[in-house]
């Protein structure tokens, strides 16, 4: 089992990194030929950075759209961030000060994740409009995340796992050594689902996270009169008077 998980995580990590890189490369390659920021928009690149930061941290547009949806989504993502930070302790030795300090917050994060996900899933069923647009994969994605969070919390509160052994396993992987992993049910479920998430990520709507930064309606400054903006394929039309 140790070797199976080691192989799985190496494979999942490669797929995740390569898959995301390939998608970002693709997005970077495709030009945005026209200025299409959704206005009112900032007129400078500093202003654009601020707009993107507000979107990233506060989900500004979503806040304007729907308070319930915003609350569920924001709570889930904040929870996810806290849980992610907490998990850094499995990959760092010695553990960074901030990560050590925020460990209890990580547990709160797990609970927030579950609450947010439950709200999002409930909404998919309860609101007719959202039910209409939901695909099977939308439901499965929520189920996957919910199971990851639940199995993680189960290990914290119900079935304790030898976390030090888990940490040795992952630090070992980082040094290309395969060390023993505790053969606990919840841990096996938890790690398998995380690997599945890593494998799915680059090919799914989970790519929405970096998508924001490539979205021309959000990342372009509103300065079309002052600065000429042209894609290479469009500039080739310039040689003719038309």
Binding residues (CB under 8 A) for other proteins: these are: 23, 26-27, 30-36, 38-43, 55, 59, 61-62, 64-66, 69, 73, 123, 127-130, 132-138, 140, 203-205, 207-208, 211-212, 214-218, 222, 224-231, 233-234, 237-239, 241-242
Could you report how far apart the first and last alpha carbons of the chain are, in Å? 67
Nearest-Å Rg of the Cα atoms of the chain is 22
> In the complex with other proteins, which residue's Cβ is closer, 4 or 14?
14
CA 221 remoteness from chain centre: 25
- Contact yes or no for 11/3 (Cβ under 8 A): no
Residues 6 or more apart whose CB falls under 8 angstroms from that of 7 comprise: none
Least distance to other proteins, CB of residue 240, Å: 9
CA 43 remoteness from chain centre: 29
Least distance to other proteins, CB of residue 196, Å: 13
> In the complex with other proteins, which residue's Cβ is closer, 108 or 207?
207
Look-up of token digits 């929870």? 79
> In the complex with other proteins, which residue's Cβ is closer, 54 or 160?
54
Least distance to other proteins, CB of residue 90, Å: 28
Least distance to other proteins, CB of residue 115, Å: 17
């Amino acid at each position: 089992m140790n070797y199976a998980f080691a192989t799985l995580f190496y494979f999942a990590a490669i797929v995740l990194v390569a898959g995301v890189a390939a998608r970002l490369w693709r997005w970077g390659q495709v030009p945005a030929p026209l200025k299409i920021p959704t206005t009112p928009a900032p007129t400078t690149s500093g202003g654009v950075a601020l707009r993107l930061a507000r979107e990233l941290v506060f989900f500004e547009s979503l806040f304007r759209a729907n308070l319930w949806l915003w609350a569920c989504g924001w709570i889930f993502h904040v929870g996810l961030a806290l849980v992610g930070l907490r998990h850094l302790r499995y990959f760092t030795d010695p553990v960074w000060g901030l990560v050590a300090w925020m460990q209890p917050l990580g547990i709160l994060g797990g609970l927030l994740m579950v609450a947010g996900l439950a709200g999002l899933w409930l909404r998919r069923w309860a609101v007719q409009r959202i039910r209409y647009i939901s695909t099977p994969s939308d439901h499965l994605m929520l189920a996957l995340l919910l199971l990851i969070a639940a199995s993680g919390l189960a290990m914290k509160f119900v079935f304790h796992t030898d976390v030090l052994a888990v940490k040795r396993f992952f630090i070992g992987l980082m040094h290309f050594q395969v060390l023993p992993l505790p053969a606990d049910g919840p841990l096996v479920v938890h790690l398998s689902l995380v690997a599945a998430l890593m494998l799915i990520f680059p090919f799914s709507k989970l790519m929405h996270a970096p998508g924001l930064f490539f979205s021309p309606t959000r990342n372009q400054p509103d300065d079309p009169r002052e600065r000429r903006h042209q894609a290479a394929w469009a500039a080739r039309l310039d040689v003719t008077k038309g």
